Structure 1
Amino acid sequence: MQQKMSRIKQVVFVALAIQLAVIILLQLIFKINILPGILVLIAESLIAVYLLDYFQSANEEESIGLEKYLGGSYADAYLVGGVGMMNYDENYVITWQSELFKERGLDRIGSKLLNWLPEANDIISGETEKVNVTIDQYVYEISKRENAPTIFFKDITLLDKYRGKYNEEHVVLGLASFDNYEESTMYADDADIANINATIRTPLNEYFQKFGVFLRRLN
């Protein structure tokens, strides 16, 4: 919406400038009294300023902050809980963002949502309900409000960190067995059994020591 308002302002300014240029040319070439034209131009300018200000105010009211919609206490709860919201228009231009992003120094109003955050395309198209994205040093779980141009951001940075630690550090159990070991050592003497054991176990012991794996033999 902001981009549209900027384009409208540019068009109005150009139109008024052209009218002024035409009035001046008429006075220079045909020596016509330009006072009526100047008065009309002034009236048009005042009307244009009034209408642009009206639409600008309407846009600001439409994009009013979270506090007015939910009340200050709810807005604070969203902020402390790490929940943010963004609205976008029919061209996927971000028109409003909640206080969370302002607190974190992130201002994306006027930016194309899908250019800035291409991962959002999956939830907008309905291919998936939630997507995890990394923005600066934060990890967010994003989702879309049903039948509304609103994206929710939930800060899951700590959860993602602990999940990663769990995946990296949780206990994993493995079992290795040797085929035909008992058959191979059943009738062998002690020297052959020791040689077989050394040949089998030495590579395993070296591998486990290299990667810090605890090894226990089960009889």
Structure 2
Amino acid sequence: MFDLIKGSKIRWLIIYIIEIVLVGVYIAANRTLGDEYSFFKSDTFVFILLGLLMILPMYAGFFSVRSFEKAVRKNYITITNTLGADISEAYSFGEMGLIIYNDKREIIWSSNIFTERGIKVLGLTIDQRFPNLKAFFENGDGKQAPETLREKVNQRIYEVMQLAELNVLIFKDISEVDNLYKLRKDEAPVFTMILLDNLLDVANIAADDEYVQIEALIRKTIADWSKEFNVVIKKIKEDSYFGIMSEESYVKIRDGEFKIINDVSKLSSHRDIVFTISLGFGRGIQNFSKLSELAAAAIDVAQSRGGGQVVVNNFGGRMEFFGGAGTEVKMRRNAVRNKVLAQSFFAHVQTYQSIYILVHTEADFDAIGAALGIVAIANAANRPAVIVYDEKQVEVKARMMLKELFSKNELHIYSLSRAKAIERINSPSLVVVVYVNRASITTAPKILEIAKNVAVIDHHRKA
């Protein structure tokens, strides 16, 4: 279409050049030959000639404009016939716009909505004005053009569909729908479970005033974090919290790299014990019960991976992991936990006058070794300790090992029969069960029935 206008300009220029040349020839002839040889005897002919030459460009311009109008009208009629006679009114009501382009992707016509919204399109190419729509025309190598594309113009979002055979683009204003979708997405609920991995272990060894101070610092850190990110938080246990937030808040927390983990860890920078915190998130669904299940499952996975990290459980998708999920973190936490438990158990042993140790029947090297370890701890605490068993309850190889390592006198000091143990046990006594957690298969089930103080140490059970 713009080639037509360009051609008209060239025609006008040629006509003007011809006009100037003819006038120049006439003037030169008059001056050279004189009036008697002049082709025109009167200036009237000159003015008539000039008038005709002036009319020709006007006619050419009129013809070009008419041709342009006919071309546009032809395209518009084709669209109207295709989409219906009431297209203009329907498109105006639906906030839709039409654009017609030529084979060079030059925009040659647009509906009123673009003018009303101050969007200049005429005279520009599709690539210049709407760069996101290039994909409509990049369907070579067997690629199929997309059905719709999105274009943002003057802070409004348009969904665009192409009628390739007609060289037409249809624009639909979806700004309000897009805003509602974004609002619904941003306000979607997200649940979180927060667990202080080793707070209870700290409580077992820290002095009361120190523990109160530590717990208060952690509580304040979590409260400040929840306020910053607009999270509704509720303490459900001494070491765990439950939180509800919007998807928008979750995204901000994620973009901030879950800084709560580092904030809690910093609280132990000047202490021997390392505080760690784990978070489990449930998201991607409106059902509150399901979100709660997702968050609970996420925190379980975080604990199984060593703690000190974040697990995000996406409904219908894969879990995401953030923070220290490696072996190093798990080993560090286990080392801290073991140290805390050892200190707690040692302090516990010191509160009793005597220690009685039970193992499982058919005691093997592992069971006897664990029992001897408790004897060593009791001796370090200056408390007498004995292993309760009868000789027949120990495997042959383990029995031979005991006789090889200890004299009869030493065995008499560190071991005791079931009958004598039942007679001696009293309130200030502590019964320690090692390497087994079922009373029925211990070397002295009767003792567990009468004992008031029992500690179980067994890697087969979850502490």
TM-score normalised by the chain length of structure 2: 0.40
Counterparts of 1:161 and 1:53 in 2: how far apart (Å)? 43
- Code of the residue aligned with 2:224 in structure 1: it is E
Q: Report matched runs for 1:49-88 at 5 Å.
A: 52=64, 55-64=67-76, 67=80, 69-88=82-101
| Structure holding more strand per residue | 2
Is the partner of 2:224 in helix, strand or coil? helix
Residue from 169, 178, 190 that aligns with 1:160: 178
Mapped contact 2:99–2:170 kept (Cα < 8 A) = yes
- Code of the residue aligned with 1:82 in structure 2: it is E
RMSD, matched Cα: 3.3
Counterparts of 2:66 and 2:227 in 1: how far apart (Å)? 74
Change (3 A) 1:49 1:158: closer
Mapped contact 2:8–2:61 kept (Cα < 8 A) = no
Q: Corresponding residue for 1:179?
A: 197
Q: Report matched runs for 1:200-211 at 5 Å.
A: 200-211=218-229
Deviates more, 1:102-111 or 1:72-81: 102-111
**Structure 2 residue 188 is matched with structure 1 residue 170:** yes
Q: Cα distance, 1:51 vs. partner? A: 5.0
Change (3 A) 1:53 1:197: closer
| Greater relative CO, 1 or 2 (CA 8 Å, sep 6+) | 1
Is the partner of 2:121 in helix, strand or coil? coil
Deviates more, 1:123-132 or 1:151-160: 123-132
Mapped contact 1:86–1:151 kept (Cα < 8 A) = yes
Deviates more, 1:55-64 or 1:13-22: 55-64
Q: How many residues align?
A: 214
Q: Corresponding residue for 1:27?
A: 26
TM-score normalised by the chain length of structure 1: 0.77
Q: Cα distance, 1:74 vs. partner? A: 3.8
Counterparts of 1:51 and 1:73 in 2: how far apart (Å)? 31
Is the partner of 2:152 in helix, strand or coil? strand
Residue from 118, 134, 137 that aligns with 2:131: 118
Change (3 A) 1:106 1:9: same
Is the partner of 1:133 in helix, strand or coil? strand
Q: Identity of counterpart residues, as a percentage? A: 20
Mapped contact 2:106–2:124 kept (Cα < 8 A) = yes
Deviates more, 1:50-59 or 1:14-23: 50-59
Change (3 A) 1:124 1:169: same
Q: Corresponding residue for 2:384?
A: none
Mapped contact 2:101–2:108 kept (Cα < 8 A) = yes
Mapped contact 2:72–2:109 kept (Cα < 8 A) = no
Q: Cα distance, 1:142 vs. partner? A: 2.2
Mapped contact 2:5–2:64 kept (Cα < 8 A) = no
Is the partner of 2:12 in helix, strand or coil? helix
Counterparts of 1:178 and 1:30 in 2: how far apart (Å)? 109
Q: Corresponding residue for 1:149?
A: 167
Is the partner of 2:234 in helix, strand or coil? coil
Mapped contact 1:133–1:139 kept (Cα < 8 A) = yes
**Structure 2 residue 63 is matched with structure 1 residue 45:** no
Counterparts of 2:220 and 2:214 in 1: how far apart (Å)? 10
Is the partner of 1:218 in helix, strand or coil? strand
Counterparts of 2:136 and 2:203 in 1: how far apart (Å)? 62
Counterparts of 2:121 and 2:18 in 1: how far apart (Å)? 37
Counterparts of 1:77 and 1:52 in 2: how far apart (Å)? 32
Rg (Cα) greater in structure: 2
Counterparts of 1:100 and 1:67 in 2: how far apart (Å)? 17
For residues 114-170 of structure 1, give each alpha carbon's deviation from its aligned partner in whole angstroms, at most 9, with x where no partner exists. 222222223332575544333235321223334553222111111122123223333
User: Where does structure 2 lack aligned partners over 5 or more consecutive residues?
Assistant: 31-37, 140-144, 238-463
Counterparts of 2:82 and 2:164 in 1: how far apart (Å)? 18
- Code of the residue aligned with 1:162 in structure 2: it is L
